[in-house]
Chain A
């Protein structure tokens, strides 16, 4: 087999596994954990368009997630509009917000950008917590919104069992990975990369770095908002402290950095490590010694960063390439 075929075979194998998993793993507990794992992988991949390729560290993506969650929920609960439509509309609103916030902040670099986005995210949360009604829409301030579990079905993006959610978020994840893949190979991707690493050089070559970053931001915030709507329909309850939280913005960044920023598989690898660590350490230690599971989570963050500052992606891609090479050589 040639290298390319090997790679295709490998990819097919992975796809078969992930699509077949619910047939074997029937427990809703694990499907639930997996749905959240994919959701975080999806969020981080969307974040990666800005945080990875554009070379800045946004720490306010929860704001876009919140816009998505609130748009679809308000429209669905109060006007009966299908969440699918709310999802798209939320995405559009989020990308407008993203561009508006990106215009001034992309001039900043490093720590300033990170801190400005934190302020943006937190400001958004405070705003939602202060608004009970926005025009005709009932946002319900800090108390949040519940989605009544009626009218189950695909049209309402609401199901009683986990499998449909699993497949929807899986398809979303694959789609966003594909988008990232094509962007990274497109002109936009090269420009973004160049603009992130050597903005002066890129600009002198006539690349409109600012515009590229804004496009990336618009896409990233759009995609993030879609996940917000999905999450709202999945959990059926949203409130500012859960969907627009700093914790969420941070966790996305953790996953990206642990997995490997700016690489396509990085976010998935990061989610594959961090989500189980977070879930299982809570399951095992959450009740025995209070806070122990968060100590473990913190230790994992520290240790991975010390030993793998480029993220899990680096040794694993190396191992993967090594494996491919070996198989390739053997088959010849």
Chain B
């Protein structure tokens, strides 16, 4: 029994980090109504920023958030402004411009391979950091401390984003745009400015996820791809556009991945994730917290 509990806890912790990686994806979808296929690459960029910040300054990984959040925010803001906005302008009459998917995939290829070009194919980890390899012993169970930090970061980030959307005037403007962009722009809300900001925030959350990952994970050019597909599954499971749904969806995937292999080969557990996901889609296509109008 302790085993199952231990695995479930690990699953929840790791899953919440998956949820955090998918948070930006769901936010961007909620507002822009497009799937950002470059999201994994944004996570990768965040990991490189965090990696270099920690390596060069020797600071606690979480201290680099001061740098990573604004850098990633600006990166996302201008990526949307320069690369993605033109498509929206060209396709203003379409609600879910599919062409944006292609553009974000293009961005994915460019970012991954630019990183390969600049930093080479090497695998990097931060050797000296206060979180590395720390484990918490709890009644015979081992719980990873960096994942615990990641869990806290995920919950806090989700709460912060949620409150921001609910309580601030900017947040309300973002929500208004996501509900009905025509109506919102009639109300004087600048649609593209909101898009930029939403994309910036989404990218910044990917940056936070990156910071939670670097203490125990490798950094290399194609690392984002590993999290990409997982992110898609999580956001649909949680309901596209739902902040809490992303975290919860992440946890579900995390628990399946962590508990499943104890009963079968890990490669089958991977298959179970897809199978359950499809099954779930058939039963409740709008996801756990999705709103019906959105699909």
Q: Residues of A at under 8 Å CB distance from B?
A: 57, 104-105, 107-112, 114-116, 118-120, 122-123, 126-127, 129-130, 246, 250, 253-254, 257-258, 261, 289-292, 294-295, 297-302, 305-306, 309
The interface bits of chain B over 34-49 (1 if a CB of A lies within 8 angstroms of the residue's CB, else 0) are 1100000000000000
Partner of A105, one of B114, B232, B277, B281: B281
B271 at interface by CB-CB < 8 Å: yes
Q: Which of B242-295 contact A (CB under 8 A)?
A: 265, 267-268, 270-271, 274-275, 277-278, 281-282, 285, 295
When distances are taken between beta carbons in the complex, the residues of chain B under 8 Å from A302 are 83, 103, 106-107, 110
The SS class assigned to the A binding surface is helix
Given A114-B35, A306-B86: A294 in contact with B113 (beta carbons within 8 A): yes
How large, as a class, is the contact surface on chain B?
35 or more
- A298–B110 CB distance below 8 A: yes
Give the nearest-CB partner of A261 in chain B: B98
The SS class assigned to the B binding surface is helix
The interface bits of chain B over 214-240 (1 if a CB of A lies within 8 angstroms of the residue's CB, else 0) are 000000010000000100110110001
- A309–B233 CB distance below 8 A: no
- A126–B99 CB distance below 8 A: no
Partner of B281, one of A108, A258, A297: A108
Given A108-B295, A291-B113: A116 in contact with B236 (beta carbons within 8 A): yes
* In the bound complex, CA of A283 to CA of B273 (Å): 38
Across the A-B interface, how many residue pairs have beta carbons closer than 8 Å?
136
Question: Can you pick out 13 interface pairs between chain A and chain B where the beta carbons lie within 8 Å of each other?
Answer: A110-B295, A114-B101, A115-B35, A115-B236, A118-B232, A119-B232, A119-B277, A123-B274, A246-B229, A291-B114, A295-B109, A297-B106, A298-B108
- A104–B232 CB distance below 8 A: no
When distances are taken between beta carbons in the complex, the residues of chain A under 8 Å from B285 are 107-108, 112
Give the nearest-CB partner of A118 in chain B: B232
The interface bits of chain B over 97-123 (1 if a CB of A lies within 8 angstroms of the residue's CB, else 0) are 111111101111110111011000100
- A290–B121 CB distance below 8 A: yes
B91 at interface by CB-CB < 8 Å: yes
Partner of A298, one of B29, B106, B232: B106
Q: Nearest 8 pairs between A and B by C-beta?
A: A298-B109, A291-B113, A123-B274, A301-B106, A298-B110, A302-B106, A291-B116, A104-B282
Give the nearest-CB partner of B270 in chain A: A126
Identify which of A116, A120, A297 gathers the most chain B CB atoms within 10 Å of its CB. A116
